[in-house]
Chains A and B, each alone.
Chain A
Amino acid sequence: MNPINLIVQYIYRSLFLTKQTTLRKTNLFVKIIFIISTIYCYVISLDKPLLLIHIITVLVILSLIDRGLEWIFSVIIVSIIPGLWFSLTTLLLKLTGFIEIDLSTIFMIFIRTIIVTYTIIFCFSIIDPVEVYNLLIRIGLNKYAVIVLLIYRLTPYGLNSFIESLNISRLKEEDIKSRLAPAVASIIETASYINEYGYFKIHGNPKYVIETLLNRFYSIVLLIIFIINISATLLFP
């Protein structure tokens, strides 16, 4: 399997193969304060590096409970890509004499980028699109609410078409570049059919919010982690 195909597969698994996990069903307010506290920890970690270990430990434990090892592995693979990009380009600038930086700092750039990417993917994966949909209806933007559903409906389809097209390129012994057009053509065609057959669903205005079932236990877990995060920023040296 070629590297591009593998990367697309891992992106697909990281972002869209998480089903309706329990963390998605937590209270919106709790989710927001949890995400803010995690970002705050990350910012403070510039002065208190131990906080980095705290953040990644918390996220990995939550991922293990909610998603399992396969998901963690996929997200780490995806996170390594920007990590390598930023650290290697910094190394290149050091070697060519444009900047002066020691190797341990370059290593920290690598680690920090992995952690921040992991955090972004994790936060994205716990957002419940239905909450965003409901929010748009509540603030009177009813006709735009369907866009949220469509993003989550079409993106995995697009990634999967891309994977399928790349897989066939291997059997057809064709250059990967030549497979982009068929994958894109298939996605465009699908979008245009959905616009036709789902015309009323896309252009009609939803009148009611979609009720969501809250998971109280995990909402409390996230609330406790929020408190731990804030405490950690105060207690860690």
Chain B
Amino acid sequence: MVSKLSVGIKTAGYSDFKIENVFFEIKPGELLLITGRSGSGKTTLLYSISNLIKIRGGFVNGYVLYNNINLLERDLKEVFEKIMIIPQEPWFATVGYSVYTEYCHTLSVYGLKCELNGLVKTGLINNIDQSTFTLSAGQYQRLLISEVFAVKPDIILFDEPFTYIDLESRIDFIKTIESFLEENRIVIVVDHIPSNWRKVEPKLIILDNGRVKYYGHYIDPLDEHINRLRVKKNLEYSDISLKAVNIWFKYPYEKPLIKGVNLELHYSEIIGIRGGNGVGKTTLLKILSGIYKPWKGFVDRNGRAIYLPENPLLYLTHPTPRLELESCSVEDDLLREVVEVFDLNRVIDKPLKHLSSGERRRLALASCFLRNYDLYFLDEPSGGLDYHSLIQLIDMINYIVEKKKTVVIAHHDPRLKNIFDKEYLLSNGVLVESN
């Protein structure tokens, strides 16, 4: 029997950041949405509720009362028998090397025999032998949801669940959440775009700098930002920067992923490539940037290209932003200007491991720009960014294309639609111009 959850966090956080005085209650069958800008404490609150914050070296003072038990005073193993958390990057919550081993191991840890019903419900039953390493973000999420279906925890926590999943999968995801609510479970979701959840009419907490700014029924608190998103300035296109002719690509032991792609890019252009999870957007960027050689066809680049991965840590070389940018060997004036434009002043000497994902992305983009590349291939650059950070990112992209560069962005973020000169849809290996 699921009871109500009462949370009273007096203080929680880390040595350099804390949340204060967060109090709320949720009844079975209710959804609580936690929103706010990046760095407002959303994830810290989620970590505090699940007591996971202690593993991260943080602290929490207060109570999380469930069935008259304060979960903060209990062993983590006991907490996780009642709560399941699905992180923003769902691959971090999987320990099995294949869909089957991940699912069965999880059930085994919860003391359940491996019945495959959960995988049937999420449509992953045909992928049981697939390596988790090759799953798309959406498939990872479905795998974790299969485990939720099987384990039936009382409380389910989701951290930014829409970051890496395409628009079609989002609709299915909300239906799944509705089914959890119908079963009288408690669901808590962190999302920086609250309007995603308007239909479900959740309870809402807006956090601002670690404090509760609003707690109550659902309102549309951030929609005004949509109109503030800057759109691309209409620059004159100039020469061709890249020409790809009849590109085909396949991975070993797989069927062709890219089939006969033709593409012509110009300087001062921003191009979008959209498509479902696992359709090959990243692979196409790697081919266009020169990391992969096509199986058939050719790519003719009229300039130097750089690929910026979804995880910017793999791009960065030096331990602090200052060292990374100084390694680009440019004049001091330009360096100062770029630090200003890319908003890196506050973090210039901070170790990379302490930078947020958004700060790492800004740094990587600044480093690319200072190295004077002509073609920029950005993989999911807006994933997990709130509106404020997104506006910053768009400003930076505009700054780059104004210097007669080409920017290609693989994404499934509907907020970006207005910035592109052209947007393409990659589906079944074929690239078509999207309207």
Q: Which residues of A contact B (CB under 8 A)?
A: 13, 16-17, 19-20, 68, 70-71, 74, 129-130, 133, 146, 149-150, 152-153, 156-157, 160-161, 164-165, 167-168, 170-172, 174, 178-179, 181-183, 185-186, 189-190, 193-211
- Tell me, in angstroms, the Cα distance from A92 to B94 when the chains sit together: 49
- A197-B85 in contact (CB<8A): yes
- B101-A168 in contact (CB<8A): no
Task: State the Cβ distance, B115 to closest chain A Cβ, in Å.
Answer: 11
- A186-B313 in contact (CB<8A): yes
Write out, one digit per residue, whether chain B residues 69-113 have a CB within 8 A of any chain A CB (1) or not (0): 000000011001100010101001111111011101111111111
B17: which A residues are within 8 A, CB to CB? Answer: none
The reply on B143 being an interface residue by CB < 8 A is: no
- A201-B105 in contact (CB<8A): yes
The reply on B131 being an interface residue by CB < 8 A is: yes
A137 nearest in chain B by CB position? B108
- B307-A168 in contact (CB<8A): yes
The segment from B160-168, B272-280, B314-322, B405-413 that touches chain A is B314-322
- Tell me, in angstroms, the Cα distance from A166 to B131 when the chains sit together: 23
- A210-B133 in contact (CB<8A): no
A197: which B residues are within 8 A, CB to CB? Answer: 52, 85, 87, 92-93
Q: 7 A–B contact pairs at CB < 8 A?
A: A146-B95, A153-B133, A170-B291, A171-B306, A182-B314, A186-B311, A200-B76
- B133-A157 in contact (CB<8A): yes
B51 nearest in chain A by CB position? A199
B114: which A residues are within 8 A, CB to CB? Answer: 208, 210-211
Q: A167-B291, A172-B315 are in contact. List 13 more A-B contacts (CB 8 A).
A: A71-B253, A133-B105, A149-B97, A153-B96, A153-B132, A153-B133, A172-B317, A186-B311, A196-B55, A197-B85, A201-B95, A202-B95, A206-B105
- B77-A208 in contact (CB<8A): no
Q: Which of A20, A150, A174, A202 contacts B98 (CB 8 A)?
A: A20
Q: Which of B56, B110, B290 contacts A171 (CB 8 A)?
A: B290
- Tell me, in angstroms, the Cα distance from A183 to B305 when the chains sit together: 21
B76: which A residues are within 8 A, CB to CB? Answer: 199-200, 203
Task: State the Cβ distance, B24 to closest chain A Cβ, in Å.
Answer: 23
B89: which A residues are within 8 A, CB to CB? Answer: 193
B50 nearest in chain A by CB position? A199
A211: which B residues are within 8 A, CB to CB? Answer: 104, 114
- B94-A198 in contact (CB<8A): yes
Task: State the Cβ distance, B372 to closest chain A Cβ, in Å.
Answer: 11
- Tell me, in angstroms, the Cα distance from A57 to B371 when the chains sit together: 52
Q: Which residues of B contact A (CB under 8 A)?
A: 52, 55-56, 76-77, 80-81, 85, 87, 89, 92-98, 100-102, 104-114, 129, 131-133, 252-253, 286, 289-291, 304-307, 309, 311, 313-317, 319, 352-353, 371
B98: which A residues are within 8 A, CB to CB? Answer: 20
Q: Which of A171, A182, A204, A210 contacts B307 (CB 8 A)?
A: A171
List 8 A-B pairs, minimum CB-CB distance, nearest first: A200-B80, A152-B97, A206-B108, A204-B109, A193-B92, A197-B93, A20-B129, A210-B104
- Tell me, in angstroms, the Cα distance from A200 to B290 when the chains sit together: 41
Q: Which of B113, B132, B313 contacts A208 (CB 8 A)?
A: B113
B305: which A residues are within 8 A, CB to CB? Answer: 171
- A183-B80 in contact (CB<8A): no
Q: Which of B94, B133, B252, B353 contacts A185 (CB 8 A)?
A: B353
A16: which B residues are within 8 A, CB to CB? Answer: 131, 133
Q: Which of A164, A198, A206 contacts B309 (CB 8 A)?
A: A164
- A129-B105 in contact (CB<8A): no
- A149-B108 in contact (CB<8A): no
Interface centre among A13, A168, A190, by most chain B C-beta atoms within 10 angstroms, is A168
Task: State the Cβ distance, B352 to closest chain A Cβ, in Å.
Answer: 7
Interface centre among B97, B133, B319, by most chain A C-beta atoms within 10 angstroms, is B97
B55 nearest in chain A by CB position? A196
B55: which A residues are within 8 A, CB to CB? Answer: 195-196, 199
Task: State the Cβ distance, A6 to closest chain B Cβ, in Å.
Answer: 12
Interface centre among A68, A156, A190, A196, by most chain B C-beta atoms within 10 angstroms, is A196
B317: which A residues are within 8 A, CB to CB? Answer: 172, 174, 178-179, 181-182
Q: A19-B129, A157-B133 are in contact. Are A194 and B95 (CB under 8 A)?
A: yes
Q: A19-B129, A198-B93 are in contact. Are A185 and B101 (CB under 8 A)?
A: no
Task: State the Cβ distance, B27 to closest chain A Cβ, in Å.
Answer: 25
- Tell me, in angstroms, the Cα distance from A54 to B286 when the chains sit together: 42
- B253-A68 in contact (CB<8A): yes
- A206-B109 in contact (CB<8A): yes
